[in-house]
A and B are shown apart, each in its own frame.
Chain A
Amino acid sequence: MKISKSIYWFFLPGLVLYSLFFLYPTFSALFYSFTDWDGLSEAFQFVGIDNYTRAFTGDSIFQKTIGNNLKFMLTVVVFQTLVALAFALIVIKNTKTNVFLRALYFFPTILSSVSVAFIWAFIYDPSMGILNQVLQLVGLDFLAQNWLGNANIAIYSLAITQIWFHAGQMLIIFVAGLQAIPEELYEVAKIEGASKWQAFRSVTWPLLAPSATIVVAYTTIQSFKAFDLVFAMTGGGPNNSTEIIATYIYDVAFKSYQFGYASSISVIFMVIIALITYLQFKALRSDRVSY
């Protein structure tokens, strides 16, 4: 089939917008990553790879942010996936109660991140917060914590908030995946005498793998790019224990006015995310299952 050359004109508006609002700014950020631009004045100097060298050898906070990002990401990916899957298995049948439950589980997703941050900061407050009060009421005083003030657990407290906020979205993906599994396969499994666990292991899980991979891929990227909850709930504290790459870029760019250096961290950040995305998509392709 011969395609008319005129069809390329249809790509032009998209190409122009993409170039203008993504490619050109991205390349200019790359350009500034080799400068000492302060973000305000017109003057700047080229500093070669100094910014990159500084990030990896002379900036202990940046190195700490990578560790914090990994802790946050791993916690969110593992538990958000499990929570979303568990909820999806609970609400898969189309009963009125389950439709209500689906809406209930999805509800946090529609809130603004700043509202969620305020709600959870209040929940976590060590003296007035609901969480510690509930733990004390049910006799679990020993679990009461300084959730956002303890440098050892603050990042995990933020991860819990992130999971609560976004698990509903992942639930929808799992529900869609579960609904696509033919009912006949379960009937066959039943006839073969398979238990519920065996049916899950042999039918549900393999056929749900593509959905699970999408959930894991999306959650990984989303949690790596997290910014708003952390910014609003802890601002990176205490003692930089919740400082992640995105909040650190913000601090360096907009509080310290080192846009050149912030650009270099942004480029490193972009490379890390691109790498994760590539690996995830590679895994996605290898996980395809067919019967």
Chain B
Amino acid sequence: MKNKLWLATGTIGLGFVLGACAGESGGDSSSESGDATQISFMHWRGEDKAVLDDIIADFEEANPDIRVEQNIYPSDQYQATAQRMLQEGSTGDVFTSFPGAQFESIESAGFFEDLSGEEFVSNFDESLISVGQKDSTQYALPYQLVFNMPVYNKGMFDELGLEVPKSWTEFQEMADTLLENDITPIAFPGADIGPNQFMNSMMMNNAPDEEVFAKLQNGEESLTNEWWVKTLEDFKLLADKGYIQDDALGTNQDSAMAMVANEEAAMLATGSYHMNSLLSLNPDLELDLLAPITVEESEATYEGINTATFMLAVNSNSEKKDQAKAFIDYLSQPEVASKYANETGQHLTVNDVEYESEALQNTSYWIDERNTRFQPRFLITNAQIEDAVLSSIENVLGGEDPMAAAEAAQQIVEENRE
């Protein structure tokens, strides 16, 4: 009891001394509402609110004793504060988690309810949900399957007679052709999500060993080794040759999307989750996905990046676990998941989903026909090491020599190694 008092006051104390932290939105959501039990569904996808409102309305009609309130936070804030909100138990009876560092910290804090024995687990593709497991226990169920690699204007490529490059040499030839046609090859949102998305496909073949970041964290690998220095050199080449736009580090994702929607740029260096937004900006676009292959064709191991994310979980501190599980069960029904997939433009990990939209159908081949690897960034489980890795990319794009940037980042890795 005394310990808990210290913990509580410690949290308050830090808050006071900080004096300036982001506020929380949302409120006490897990209250009883009439005869129905109200649960909180906490997530970061503000753009999905409307379709989730529809799905929740249908769920409440089918389950009149349960009401669901959405508590939505911007993804940055969610990454930083979700754990704290889960601790208290009144928010996030059902919540979502990112894989990687956030999953690890929530798991180690014991906020995941064990879902291993639940029937609805079988509604998901078994091969895509391992990222939500630890020590053979299913703590979270990834709902979305996204491809964190550039979205490209397929129509533009066809018009210019360009094919998807299979090597670094071909990639540069393709980029040169685009430049000759006054088109920026890659719109890179370096001011926000660019580095943490594009690093994945840029390094996937430079370091095909999926353990490379685990080894970096335990000291077996270094950012000054060839795999990362080469990745930084490749980033430098993109900047030096004008393959990414000038001032990329000052460009946010909205501006980068506008460049692709206006056909000023051919590729958007984010991921499949932006295809729907691009099509809403310019419905005439014909889009597909491609990842730069930074090695020669014969050396290429992977063709792209996948991430099973938006991991559905039940808060172990919740007093309404049965209702929370009922909601996840509902979300995992194929017809509900199909509605969610088609209205949000996302591929899902749920079995038997029917993709109706052209963009989803045209890119579904990436799910089982292409050799993709799980997003490397999410295999960095230490947030400060992740920041160091991303900062070295920013550093190079800001004009620093790749080796010097790698050395500076490695110093921070060593300071934060556990």
Task: Using CB atoms and an 8 Å cutoff, list the residues of chain A in contact with chain B.
Answer: 21-22, 24-32, 37-42, 54, 58-61, 121, 124-128, 146-151, 225-228, 231, 234-235, 237-240, 246, 249-257, 259, 262-263, 266-267, 269-270
Interface string of B403-418 (1 = CB under 8 A from A): 0000000011001100
In chain B, residues 15-45, which have Cβ atoms closer than 8 Å to a Cβ of chain A? Answer: 15-22
Contacts of A226 in B (CB 8 A): 20
Q: How far is the CB of A153 from chain B (nearest CB, A)?
A: 10
Give the contact-size bracket for chain B. 35 or more
Q: How far is the CB of A161 from chain B (nearest CB, A)?
A: 14
Given A149-B247, A256-B382, A21–B16 Cβ distance below 8 Å? yes
Query: Does B298 reach chain A (CB closer than 8 Å)?
Result: no
Query: Does B76 reach chain A (CB closer than 8 Å)?
Result: yes
Report the Cα distance A132→B190, complex, angstroms: 18
Determine the residue in chain B with the shortest Cβ distance to A57.
B415
Q: Name A238's contact: one of B10, B249, B384, B411 (CB within 8 Å).
A: B249
Contacts of B247 in A (CB 8 A): 126-127, 146, 149
Q: How far is the CB of A142 from chain B (nearest CB, A)?
A: 15
Query: Does B398 reach chain A (CB closer than 8 Å)?
Result: yes
Determine the residue in chain A with the shortest Cβ distance to B16.
A25
Choose the segment among B1-9, B130-138, B277-285 that binds chain A (4+ C-beta atoms closer than 8 Å): B1-9
Report the Cα distance A40→B19, complex, angstroms: 20
Given A149-B191, A240-B391, A254-B80, A125–B250 Cβ distance below 8 Å? yes
Main secondary structure of the interface of B (DSSP, over half): helix
Contact A249 B4 (CB under 8 A): no
Contacts of A28 in B (CB 8 A): 6, 9-10, 12-13
Query: Does B215 reach chain A (CB closer than 8 Å)?
Result: no
Contact B251 A238 (CB under 8 A): no
Q: Which 7 pairs across A and B sit closest by C-beta, in order of nearness? A: A149-B250, A149-B249, A25-B13, A29-B13, A126-B247, A227-B20, A40-B109
Query: Does B255 reach chain A (CB closer than 8 Å)?
Result: yes
Contacts of A250 in B (CB 8 A): 18, 21-22, 80
Contacts of A262 in B (CB 8 A): 14
Q: How far is the CB of B183 from chain A (nearest CB, A)?
A: 15
Given A37-B10, A231-B22, A125–B16 Cβ distance below 8 Å? no
Q: How far is the CB of A133 from chain B (nearest CB, A)?
A: 13
Q: Name A41's contact: one of B108, B192, B383, B400 (CB within 8 Å).
A: B108
Determine the residue in chain B with the shortest Cβ distance to A126.
B247
Contact B412 A61 (CB under 8 A): yes
Contacts of A267 in B (CB 8 A): 17
Determine the residue in chain A with the shortest Cβ distance to B397.
A238
Query: Does B248 reach chain A (CB closer than 8 Å)?
Result: yes
Report the Cα distance A255→B80, complex, angstroms: 5
